Amino acid sequence: MAFFEKKNNAIGRVNNNPLTAAGVTLNLESGQGASFPSSGVFVITVWDNEAYPNPGSDPNMEIMWVSSRSTDALTVVRAKESTTGVAHAKGSRVEMLVTTGLFTDPTYGYEANLSNVLFSDDETPSGTVNSSNKTFTTANTPSPVASLDVKVEGMSLIRDGAEANGYSLSGKTITVVTAPPIGAAIRVSYRYT
């Protein structure tokens, strides 16, 4: 349905004692869940970073998909990308890392078949361009949100930016910080399902 979620500097430690080889709930230490995406599916790597600072050196390193997060509890799908579901000791490192699958599998990053992902390119959103209106509406709901590119007169705006060239998105509604001048060309491109 959508691309895997991403988040910079997402890091934590296993709080299960241990996370068993068949366990599907990985508990992080208190407060660490906030560094991971709050929704959507994302990829994590789990390994013993005390013995193996490089995860690739740990023979028990495991790549997992996280299907949901509730505070510090991650619901996981085990043994992804040719890794094996093994027990992980309390304190093992949990981190969102770039994995080989991202580069070797052309469908990696999709939760569903590619035929479910649609594109809208160079769409003119609805809304009056009159130098005072700041609200515009897309024909479909962008998914993922990060796929949305908003351009005014060919210049891309910054999502969640407070600067003059910023915008926010809620569902299909785009709210720009600075109203475009009369007659300005506004175009959007995005993915949706």
Q: Where in the chain do CATH 2.40.10 domains reside? A: 11-104
Strands (E) across 81-145 are located at 93-95, 118-123, 135-137
Q: Which pLDDT value is given to residue 105?
A: 57
Residue that the structure tokens 């990060």 belong to: 146
Q: Which pLDDT value is given to residue 1?
A: 39
- Ranges under pLDDT 70 in the chain: 1-3, 102-117
Query: pLDDT exceeding 90 applies to what percent of the chain?
Result: 61
What pTM, to 2 d.p., does this model score? Answer: 0.57
Tell me which fold the domain 11-104 belongs to: Thrombin, subunit H (2.40.10)
Report the alpha-carbon distance of residue 80 to residue 97 in Å, rounded. Answer: 13
Q: Are 147 and 109 in contact (CB under 8 A)?
A: no
Separation in Å, CA 91 to CA 16, 44, 52, 88, 165: 8, 15, 13, 8, 43
